[in-house]
Amino acid sequence: MEKRLLGKTAIVTGSARGIGREYALRMAKLGANVVITDIDLSAGKYKEKDAKAKTVREEVRALGVESLEFEGDGTDENFVRLVAEKTKSTFGSLDVLINNIGGTGGAGPGLATEMELDKFRKVIDINLTTTFLFSKHAGNIMKEQKNGKIINVASVAGFVPLFVVQPHYSAGKAAVISLTKTMALELAPYGITVNAIAPGYISTVKWDAHFDSQIEELTKKVPLGRIGTTEDCAKVIEFLATDLSDYLTGQTIFVDGGLKSLNPSSSKIENYTV
Ligand SMILES: NC(=O)c1ccc[n+]([C@@H]2O[C@H](COP(=O)([O-])OP(=O)(O)OC[C@H]3O[C@@H](n4cnc5c(N)ncnc54)[C@H](O)[C@@H]3O)[C@@H](O)[C@H]2O)c1
């Protein structure tokens, strides 16, 4: 793989497991030093099956680059500021930010008309506030450098409601797509690009466990006829993190096997749990 990010530094949020881990490994393969940050660095029962070490940091370092890891809550501004500042002071630059934290944080599904406010706010915070905070603090460093690439992780659910019981998650991801465009406009004069990736159904240890009995049904909804892989997403992240996408900003790329564009019917599955 061509080392298009040699000597650069990337922060990948929510990278202790799942798709975020794959982004961290991809950054390392491209030659970047990688900062791993997560609320739980252990990954626990959701550790990916092909993991080659106890932590993602060890896996990244085995690829010949340097790495820092920070355990903390991405909704805590003091924590986020510290991650951004330590990254800059350790490596001298902060070139790529991948805002991958997301999901429902165990808050679970529910209909909008029945949902407690706390539950709604929690999921908005995990998906939107973390993206805002990391973009704010990394963005200020990138403004001084006059370059950088911010990549937000949205979802097809931010464009079309995939599950009627995910109003909090869908709204959070829709807001991520909106923030991507506004910050792209703000940061364009500094040579900083801000884009988003919107995955469809992507297989991870956790996703497979949750959708176990519904995988066949969900696969039928995907025009390309298969559930996506973390690798499918990492290839697009590579494009957005490197000079391959230098003249692209404010865009959201759907990595979904055609789900959003070709088959936008929303799912009626209601027994979905997280
Ligand atoms: N898997 C899919 O099918 C799919 C589809 C569309 C979008 N996405 C998005 O891709 C991203 C990664 O998804 P995944 O399937 O790997 O999920 P995941 O739950 O395995 O990964 C999310 C990571 O974020 C961390 N995290 C959660 N809340 C945090 C917080 N407050 N502070 C710090 N870290 C926190 C978790 O510990 C976890 O490691 C998420 O943003 C998700 O919404 C996933």
CA distance 169 to 111: 11
Q: Is 107 in the pocket of ligand 1 (CB under 6 A)?
A: no
8 Å CB contact between 194 and 152? yes
CA distance 189 to 184: 9
CA distance 67 to 54: 14
| 228 CA: nearest ligand 1 atom | 3
Q: Is 259 in the pocket of ligand 1 (CB under 6 A)?
A: no
CA distance 160 to 167: 11
Q: Is 17 in the pocket of ligand 1 (CB under 6 A)?
A: yes
Task: Write the pLDDT tens digit of every residue in 14-56.
Answer: 999 999 999 999 999 999 999 999 999 998 899 888 999 999 9
pLDDT at 268 over 60: no
List the chain domain ranges: 9-256
Q: Is 100 in the pocket of ligand 1 (CB under 6 A)?
A: yes
What is the gyration radius of the CA atoms in the chain, in angstroms?
Answer: 18
Please state, in angstroms and as integers, the Cα–Cα distance from residue 198 to each residue in 204, 259, 264, following that order.
16, 11, 14
Can you identify the CATH homologous superfamily of domain 9-256?
NAD(P)-binding Rossmann-like Domain (3.40.50.720)
Quick one: tokens of 116?
């407690």
SS3 assignment, position 271: coil
Residue 256 amino acid letter: D
254, exposed or middle or buried, with CB in 10 Å at 0-12, 13-18, 19+? buried
Alpha carbon of 121 to ligand 1 centroid (Å): 17
Task: Write the pLDDT tens digit of every residue in 65-114.
Answer: 999 999 999 999 999 999 999 999 999 999 999 999 999 999 999 999 99
DSSP letter at 129 equals I
pLDDT at 100: 98
